[in-house]
Amino acid sequence: MAELEVIQPNNPNLRKKAEPVRQLTPEIQTLINDMIETMRAANGVGLAAPQVNRSLRLAVIETPPEVDEEGNEIEGTRNLYVVLNPEITWKSRKIVDGVEGCLSIPGYLGEVSRHEAIRVRGMDRNGRNFNLRLKDWDARIFQHEIDHLDGILYIDRLTDPDNFWTEEEFQALFGEEAEEQEAFAAD
């Protein structure tokens, strides 16, 4: 496995709609493994193929862990998803604001409105179709990654242009609340 270079908004490929994955080849499996390694090395919770300069409708997502009363990660509470050709089939009416970051826009955070709950269908890395019902942070992460597959960045969906901060500004403005938010902000 190898860590891949994560491209930034100055690369036009990040803004293109990705192509469907048509076959599960050994090269795709290698790409999936490399994307998982890259996401974890960057402490992210998601990574879409366009972020590593591959125009494919493919994303890897690892949900945030549950924590105990002392704030320690509870083993076995993270879920790893490999999603190919994902499609949102339903969105809740309720919209919630939350803070997001992105591995392609390092050092910044922004407030984005997203559907509180969604349903997603797609295919896993073994070629099996799936249907997921997601809510809260899991739904937010999936929406963020699926946006990448359509050439959309979270900065395109800011609640207000003023709701975009450096990590340092965010920490200074929101203090302790910022630490809780940052745990889930990196894609």
pTM beyond cutoff 0.85: yes
DSSP 61: E
Q: Which residues are catalytic, by number?
A: 145
Is position 158 within any domain?
yes
5, part of any domain = no
Q: Is residue 1 part of a domain?
A: no
Q: Residue 32 sits in which domain range?
A: 12-182
pLDDT of residue 183: 46
Q: Is 41 contained in some domain? A: yes
Extract the tokens encoding 43.
Answer: 């402490």
- Residue 51, CA atoms < 13 Å, CB-side half-sphere: 31
Q: What is the CATH number of the domain that holds 24?
A: 3.90.45.10
d(CA 102, CA 120): 21
53 found inside a domain:
yes
pLDDT digits (tens, 9 = 90+) for 138-178: 999 999 999 999 999 999 999 999 999 999 999 898 876 65
pLDDT tier at 87, thresholds 50, 70, 90: very high
State the total domains in the chain: 1
Q: Within a domain: residue 187?
A: no
pLDDT of residue 180: 54
Q: Is residue 89 part of a domain?
A: yes
pLDDT in tens, 113-145: 999 999 999 999 999 999 999 999 999 999 999
Largest CA distance in the chain: 47
Q: What is the pLDDT of residues 13-65, one digit of tens each?
A: 999 999 999 999 999 999 999 999 999 999 999 999 999 999 999 999 998 88
Query: Residue 75's pLDDT is what?
Result: 84
pLDDT (0 to 100) of residue 186? 54
Given a cut of 80, is residue 185 above it in pLDDT?
Answer: no
Q: What is residue 76's predicted lDDT score, i.e. its pLDDT?
A: 83
Mean pLDDT, residues 63-77:
83
